[in-house]
Structures are given as C-alpha cells and as structure tokens.
Amino acid sequence: MSVVTTVLLILSTAFITFFFIKWVLQSKGKRYPKGPMGLPIVGHLPFFGRHPPSTFMKWWESYGNVFSIRLGSWNTVVVNGYKAVKAAAEHPNDAFSGRPKFISSEVLAERIHEDVFAFGNFSPVYLKQRNLASKALRLFTSKRKDVIEELVTNEAVAFADSLVRKFSTSPGHIELEVQILVVRIIYQFLYGRGEQVDFDRHVKIIYREVEEFNKFTGSGSALDVLPWLRYIIPWKVDALRKLTAKGDAIMWEQVQKHYETFSADHIRDVADAIITSDAEDEENKDRYVLTRARLNLTLADLQGAGADTTSKTMLWLILYMTKYPQIQERVFAEINTVIGKSRNVELKDKPNLVYTNAVILEVMRIVTQVPFSLPHFSMTDAKIEGLDVDKDTVVLFNLYSIHHEKEFWGDPEYFRPERFILDDNSFIRFKNNHVLAFGLGRRRCVGESSQK
C-alpha cells in the first residue's frame, strides 16, 4: 500500500469516526418517534429507492402517522396524512415552522450575512418579509389581475403558435419550451419586460440557475444533508455559490433599474412593489429589523422558487392529457362550450370550467410536485399526535401521503378528475381542500395566489 493510500485511509477513518461520535452525541437524550432502521453516517438515504414517496408510504403503513428517519446527518421526523400534517403545520406555537440550516441555506444566507426568505428560519423578521412579499404579489394577482392576465395570455398564445410551428409535422421535446415559457412569465411578472436583449439573456440564465439549483436542493440531495461532504467536494459548494451569484446579479441589476425609473403613481411590477414597501416597522422597531438588502433579496427567491414547480406541473398536465386523450377531448369540449373560439380563456371563466379545474387539481394531487414540502425544522420541543419531537429536528410534511390517503380518496392511485365533481356538475369543496400541493401552515407557498 502506498504512503498516499495509507494517509487517505487514516484520514477517512478519522473522519468517519468523528462524524459517528458527533451523531451519537447529537442524538443522545433526544426523543423521537420510532421508525425504520437506518445506517450510521448516511442514515436512510440509501433506502429511499427510485421513487421516495412510495417508500415513505410503506414506512407510513408500518410505523404510523409520525415516524423518524435520518436524512443523512439530520435527525428527521416524517409527518403523514391530512390530520397529522395539518396539526403539525398549524401548531399554535409555530413549533415546526423553522427551516434547517442545510448547506444550500448557508450559502444563500452568506450573501447578506443574514437569513433569507424561503430557506431562512422562522422569526418576526421572516414574518414581516413574508407579509410584504405576499402583499406585493397580491397587488398583481387580485387587485390588478389584468396585468398578469394579459401577460399570461400573450405568452400562452405565442407559445401555442410556436408549438404548432415546431411540432405539427415531426415530434420533439417540449420540456425546455415549457420551462422557458414559465421563466419568461415569472420574469415579466417580477420585473416587466425591459430591453429585449436583456430579457432573452436573463431568462436563459435564470432557467439554467433553477435547473442546477434543484440538483443541490432536491429531496435527499447528498450535499445538502451530509454537511461534511463540503470538505471532500468543496468545489460543489463553490459551484452553488457561483450559481446563486448569477441569479442575484440579474436581480440587483433589475432593482437598480427600477430605482432609477420608479414613479410612485405607477407601480409597474412586483419589483416596484417590493422596493417601495416599508421595511421598517415603527411598532416593532426594537424587536427586529428587516433590512432593505434582505427585503430586496425576496425578489431572488421569487425568481427561482416558482419556475421549476410551475413548469413541472404543466409538463405533468400535458403528459396526462397525452395518456388520456378522452379526458383531453372533454376538457377541450368544455372550453369550447363555455368560451367558444372567438376569445381567449380568462380568469373570470374559472368557476364555469368545472371539469378543466378538476383535471388540474387531479394532476396536482396524483403527482404532488413537492412531495415532502420544503424541509421544516422544530424550533422548540413539541409533540405531534402525542409523540415527542425535540428541538432541532428536521420535520418533513409528507404532502404526497395526504394526496394518496386511501381512507379519504378511495382509489388514490387512479387518475380520475371526476372525484372532484358532483352529479349536478358542482365542485366538491372539501375534496378540493385536501389538495395541498402548495403546503399548509405559516410556511405554505407564497406564490399560491398567483396559481389559483
């Protein structure tokens, strides 16, 4: 054995021993619900299988609504089924509304040396930031719906034309087209259209950033949950830093431009709404400060957070329509009957498009694009369904389990939009309320109102 191999062997043994001891010490005295057996160091990661939500369904059956696993180095509790997830997400003390300090959140926080929005911890500053972000989004989704409606309609019409041009004679992949479409819409929603050259360039950069960022933060991403990997593959963390910097550069450039061209009488887009919102809170000034940098950085979160979820949901929708042509025909017939061919679909048509809505909901249910929500973190010792979950535990809300709960849905494995509709063609409201693809509780998706 060469000297180098021997040194490497000693170093890795020391490394593994160090983290094993750390893990044992971390878990000592902590109380967790029972769960499946895992391995030291990597925990349950090797057992997730090809489709982790299906594996978690089996564990749910064996260990009940609240069970423990280890997500790499992190003690983790998984909460399953509507009742338990709702109780945990809406815990009166917000016990489970925190976020773990995974590597990706650390990298995001480094930028301004304070917590950020979507991946940051729960605090009064977070609440203030969320409140302002929701207000800014609502301005264009409820009060001035026309802005977003016009934007989406124009993009959708151009998109449909381009699909016909490209794919009517030969097949092709539409994944990239759909992803770019969604980024184009989100970008204009946040910043307006601006110069064509910047627009095209920025859209491409954001699209790539989102794709790459998801590889770092997807459920069970090794780098995120095995913090010691940063010493073994430090270039991966640097790559994440560089990636984030690219997205940020666009956001800061836009913020600068918005400051320069701003007019208080005409709030043009979400960026205008954010840069004019009052970060300071006179009443709570002593308790916390929401800095201007942190507030402006909300835009970077909005820029990335909705692109992947929305485009993948659309792609699933297209896939299901391809798989079930008779359902596609029925959607088409409904749109034809309710709206006709002389105008485009508008938001106000939504209540009359019962079947079409049911199809969208059914896709969101059966797929569950973010199966375990974003990871939550327990900020105090608390209980879920009477079981102890101690402070500093990662908490996963298994949204997939809610959408596939047999007692509620009967036949959750089947794609059956009719499950949402009564004989008189009205919507079954309480079923609609069990489709929780945007999460629930205080950390639920802030973009939800822009999707509904």
Q: Where does this chain bind ligand HEM (CB under 6 A)? A: 117-118, 130, 301-302, 305-306, 309-310, 313, 369-370, 373-374, 397, 437-439, 443-447, 450-451
Nearer to ligand HEM, 38 or 447 (CB): 447
Quote the least distance from Cβ 212 to ligand HEM, whole Å.
18
Rama region for 2: left / alpha / beta (φ>0; ψ in -120 to 50; rest) = beta
Nearer to ligand HEM, 72 or 100 (CB): 100
Quote the least distance from Cβ 368 to ligand HEM, whole Å.
8
Residue with tokens 């020391």: 14
Q: In Å, what is the CA distance from 333 to each residue of 328, 330, 338, 339?
A: 9, 5, 9, 10
Exposed, middle or buried by CB within 10 Å (0-12, 13-18, 19+), for 375? buried
Nearer to ligand HEM, 279 or 299 (CB): 299
Nearer to ligand HEM, 45 or 437 (CB): 437
Quote the least distance from Cβ 241 to ligand HEM, whole Å.
20
Quote the least distance from Cβ 102 to ligand HEM, whole Å.
13
Query: Rounded to an integer, what distance in angstroms lies between the CA atom of residue 414 and that of residue 410?
Result: 10
Query: Rounded to an integer, what distance in angstroms lies between the CA atom of residue 52 and that of residue 46?
Result: 10
Quote the least distance from Cβ 186 to ligand HEM, whole Å.
6
The three-class DSSP label of residue 151 is helix
Quote the least distance from Cβ 114 to ligand HEM, whole Å.
15
Pairing outcome for strands 394-398 and 74-80? parallel
Nearer to ligand HEM, 270 or 354 (CB): 270
User: In 2-144, where does DSSP find H-type helix?
Assistant: 3-27, 52-63, 82-89, 103-110, 124-138
What does the longest C-alpha to C-alpha distance in the chain come to?
A: 79
Quote the least distance from Cβ 125 to ligand HEM, whole Å.
12
Nearer to ligand HEM, 38 or 66 (CB): 66
Among candidate residues 50, 89, 44, the one with its CA nearest the CA of residue 67: 44
Nearer to ligand HEM, 38 or 275 (CB): 275
Type of residue found at 419: R
